[in-house]
Chain A
């Protein structure tokens, strides 16, 4: 296949990654969000593979495989089990202000495009756009952690931030030195395990449905002034 085709293909996939983030934000139930997250991981993996193919960076095949295993299979499966185990599958969590959230999300996307516009030097525009998309994915992940009050949803947001990072790392820069991928992988794995631990610990109280109940530690109560 010729370069342009592949470039446009990459762009389309990236756009799909972004779309997956939107889906995760807007889902009320957890399982569909987890599926969307799995799809996002898969897409990132494919993008990585494509870049490996075009840029002839053998290292990237490895990280593509790694990504697919972790982000598309292992972690979604873990979360799935967790949700079932904690009986959160039926739990619905409507957004506080759905319209506002979507508006914010769109604004963030535009913002990240505006952000990368001044970057003119030495790089073809497609790289720039992918950078914009990955930035948007990161910001959307953060936004998701802000707007969703379910613990698992926040974890999803966190993970999709990682997806955005990974996308930026591999696509915008034709693959960074391997340590980073390894680092990210390691990080994600430990993170997943940690989440498991926390959920089992926090499971008793209703904190998982609503993290806002985790507010024992604050300074707003009146001290002696």
Chain B
């Protein structure tokens, strides 16, 4: 109870400010101010998340207002708030120009109102999904993510956008339904064990009794959850919605999708995996869940890598790279063990920082070139050095080069692989090489070379990108003790064993 009174306000502020933002922004339609209000809500949420981090470090786990903050989600919550804020900053000016060019007059204003309020809805549902203590609410929140993003993706009302949104909605709707079935099965396995079935969906309660659950039901449940939420993680072969949604939706939305939504979905899978591992412990198939994750991860890595070579659209390109990266992370969690788990957690954070930065830069690049087709984007460094170099450096970071953070996690991940399952390196190595080649063969042509006719510099606000890249650089050089502490605890929770 003491913890409650301590952590109550920061949690509530962090999570529910965006909820407030939804309605406020739905009411005010006036363009400029709306943009600032959007930024303001995200800012308040971010500030509150900092406060929350402080509260967490002081008091440890926080349970308040049906929300639960522990080692596993604290860093993700702060990350969400931060990326949300920077994306809001980016989209304030960007969306104004885009909507004024893409949509005509009244629809433009309407579209802006819709965009802003849905943006907040998106943030809110993600934060809710991360913080809630209840698997049912988790599911509802993820569903809410889907609904809000479907509308965001279809914002431009072009035939492609509608098609993308339709496919996105269908695939993820089905996925979500399967995930719910999995959740039902978890409850089914739990109800007779728990003292009070009314709490049958409270994660921490389930976690305490996880050992007594019926293993068969749990593994079936896990399959449903994996396929269901996995659809949103973008695991192959349920990934097909991802490139479409990324390429047709507004760029800030792509940034949030790649940067945050995939993480959130994976987080949901992870929560359930903890229960399943507990139930399966001792049975002959103790690591079954992990093996499923490894399989999905490797397949996603390879397929994502190969698709990089096919894509002709810059945003599709980076969405495929997201598939590959999520594959790596999934692989890391599947591998298990402290080292791999730590690497995967770090990977989640750094990847979302980098990828959202990349997408913001890509937004400017497409704005410069007036198209998303890779073949028509050339010589960015000559046209607008700021954008060109930023894109190049960000992609370098994305490709896992030091001194950027992704390198550290890939280093640890490969090390762990050689330790636990050396043979898998045979798959990992070509996967990484193909990914790398696929990224650079396109990016290099876009940033280097002479300027094609008709490319002119644009007004670009890259500060969010600089901040995020600076963070990525920082994480690559050294990991602040606080974050290391959190990740260490989270590792102990997920892997069941502390770090060396």
Direct A–B contact in the complex, CB atoms closer than 8 angstroms? yes
Q: Smallest CB-CB separation from A213: which chain B residue?
A: B163
**In the complex where A122-B214, A225-B309 touch, is A179 in contact with B201 (Cβ < 8 A)?**
yes
Given contacts A145-B174, A161-B174, A187-B143, contact A216 B163 (CB under 8 A): yes
Contact flags (1/0) for A202-225 with B, using CB distance below 8 Å?
100101000000101101000111
Answer whether residue B147 sits at the interface, using C-beta atoms and an 8 A cutoff.
yes
Stretch at the interface among A27-35, A72-80, A88-96, A165-173: A165-173
Report A157-177 CB contacts with B as 1/0, cut-off 8 Å.
010011011001100111011
| A177: B residues at CB distance < 8 A | 134, 136, 198-201
A173 to B193 alpha-carbon distance, docked (Å): 13
Shortest distance between the CB of B118 and any CB in chain A (Å): 13
Instruction: Report if A138 contacts B (CB, 8 A).
Output: yes
* CB of B169 within 8 Å of the partner chain: yes
- Whether B247 is near chain A, meaning CB under 8 Å from some CB there, is yes
* B188 contacts A194, C-beta separation under 8 Å: no
Cα distance A223–B310 in the bound complex, in angstroms: 6
Q: Mark B162-199, 1 if CB is under 8 A from A, else 0.
A: 11111101100110111011011101100110000111
The answer to whether B244 and A172 touch across the interface, beta carbons within 8 angstroms, is no
Inter-subunit contact B170/A180 (CB<8 Å): no
Contact A168 B160 (CB under 8 A): no
Which residue of the partner chain, among A118, A135, A194, A224, contacts B147 with CB atoms under 8 Å? A194
Answer whether A138 and B181 are a contact pair too, CB < 8 Å, given A118-B216, A214-B167: yes
Task: Say how far A167's CB is from chain B's closest CB, in angstroms.
Answer: 10
Judge whether A154 is part of the interface by a CB distance below 8 angstroms: yes
B377 CB–A CB distance under 8 Å: no
B188 to chain A, nearest CB (A): 5
Cross-chain contact A179 with B163 (CB below 8 angstroms) = no
Tell me if A135 and B181 are in contact (CB < 8 A): yes
**Docked-complex contact B214 and A173, CB < 8 angstroms:** no
Q: Say yes or no: A202-B198 contact (C-beta < 8 A), given A115-B220, A123-B192, A191-B173.
A: no
> Please, which residue of chain B has its CB at the minimum distance from the CB of A215?
B163
B50 within 8 A of A: no
With A176-B187, A179-B134 in contact, is A219–B170 under 8 Å at CB?
Answer: no
Task: Decide if B312 is an interface residue (CB 8 Å cutoff).
Answer: yes
- In the complex, whether B311 has a CB less than 8 A from a CB of chain A is yes
Q: Does B137 contact A (CB under 8 A)?
A: yes
- The CA of A219 and the CA of B243, in the complex, are separated in Å by 10
Q: Which residue of A lies closest to B202 (CB)?
A: A177
Q: A88 to nearest B CB, angstroms?
A: 17
Asked if B184 and A165 make an inter-chain contact with CB atoms under 8 angstroms apart, the answer reads yes
Q: Take A145-B170, A158-B174, A214-B163 as given contacts and tell me if A184 and B188 are in contact as well, using a CB distance cutoff of 8 Å.
A: no
A: number of interface residues (CB 8 Å)? 46
Decide: A216 near B159, CB < 8 A? Known: A145-B170, A186-B140: yes
Bound-state CA distance A122–B140 (Å) is 29
* Residue B248 lies at the interface, judged by CB distance under 8 Å to chain A: yes
**Residue A100 at the B interface, CB < 8 A?**
no
A142 within 8 A of B: yes
With both beta carbons as reference points, the residue of chain B lying nearest to A187 in the complex is identified as B143
**A165 to B311 alpha-carbon distance, docked (Å):** 37
How many residues of chain B have a CB within 8 Å of chain A?
55
The distance from the CB of A29 to the nearest CB of chain B, in whole angstroms, is: 22
Q: How many pairs of residues, A versus B, come closer than 8 Å at their CB atoms?
A: 125
The reply to whether B184 and A179 form a contact with Cβ atoms under 8 Å apart is no
CB nearest to B164 among chain A residues? A217
Contact string against B for A residues 103-142, beta-carbon threshold 8 Å, 1 for contact and 0 otherwise: 0000000000001001101110000000100010010001
The residue in B174, B198, B247 that gathers the most chain A C-beta atoms within 10 A of its C-beta is B174
CB contacts (< 8 Å) of A102 on chain B: these are none
State whether B200 touches A176 (Cβ < 8 A): yes
Q: Quick check: is A183 within 8 A (CB to CB) of the other chain?
A: yes
Given the interface contacts A121-B214, A176-B136, A214-B166, does A194 sit within 8 Å of B150 by beta carbon?
Answer: yes
Asked whether, in the complex, the Cβ of A202 is within 8 Å of the Cβ of B166, the reply is yes
From A119, A154, A172, B214 is in contact (CB under 8 Å) with: A119
> In the complex, what residue of chain B is closest to A155 when comparing beta carbons?
B170
For the complex, is A190 an interface residue (Cβ under 8 Å from B)?
yes
A223 vs B374: C-alpha distance when bound (angstroms):
10
Please give the distance in Å from A122's CB to the nearest CB on chain B: 5
Residue of B nearest to A168 (CB): B184
User: A190 with B216: in contact, given A158-B173, A183-B140 (CB under 8 Å)?
Assistant: no
Given known contacts A158-B174, A217-B248, A201 and B184 CB-to-CB distance under 8 angstroms = no
Taking the complex as formed, is B139 at the interface, i.e. its CB lies under 8 A from any CB of chain A?
Answer: yes
In the complex, whether B157 has a CB less than 8 A from a CB of chain A is yes
Q: Scan residues 50-73 of chain B and give those whose CB is less than 8 A from a CB of chain A.
A: none
Residues of A within 8 A of B448 (CB): none
Q: Which residue of B lies closest to A154 (CB)?
A: B170
- Which of chain B's residues have a CB closer than 8 A to the CB of A194? 147, 150-151, 169
- B216 / chain A contacts, CB cutoff of 8 Å: 118-119
In the assembled complex, the CB of B131 is this many whole angstroms from the nearest CB of chain A, namely 15
Verify if A198 is at the interface (C-beta below 8 Å from B): yes
Interface status of B375 (Cβ within 8 A of chain A): yes
Query: Contacts A217-B243, A217-B248 known; A180 to B136 CB distance under 8 Å?
Result: yes
- Shortest 10 CB-CB contacts between residues of A and residues of B: A183-B140, A179-B136, A180-B136, A217-B244, A219-B310, A214-B163, A122-B192, A223-B312, A118-B216, A121-B214
What are 17 A-B contacts with C-beta separation under 8 Å?
A123-B188, A135-B181, A165-B184, A172-B184, A173-B184, A176-B184, A177-B199, A177-B200, A183-B139, A183-B143, A187-B140, A187-B143, A187-B176, A198-B162, A214-B163, A217-B167, A223-B311
Binding site for A on B (CB under 8 A): 134, 136-137, 139-140, 143, 147, 150-151, 154, 157, 159-160, 162-167, 169-170, 173-174, 176-178, 180-181, 183-185, 187-188, 191-192, 197-201, 214, 216-217, 220, 243-244, 247-248, 307, 309-312, 316, 375
**Given A168-B184, A184-B180, A214-B163, 10 further pairs, Cβ under 8 A:** A135-B181, A180-B183, A180-B201, A187-B176, A191-B173, A202-B162, A217-B163, A217-B248, A219-B311, A223-B312
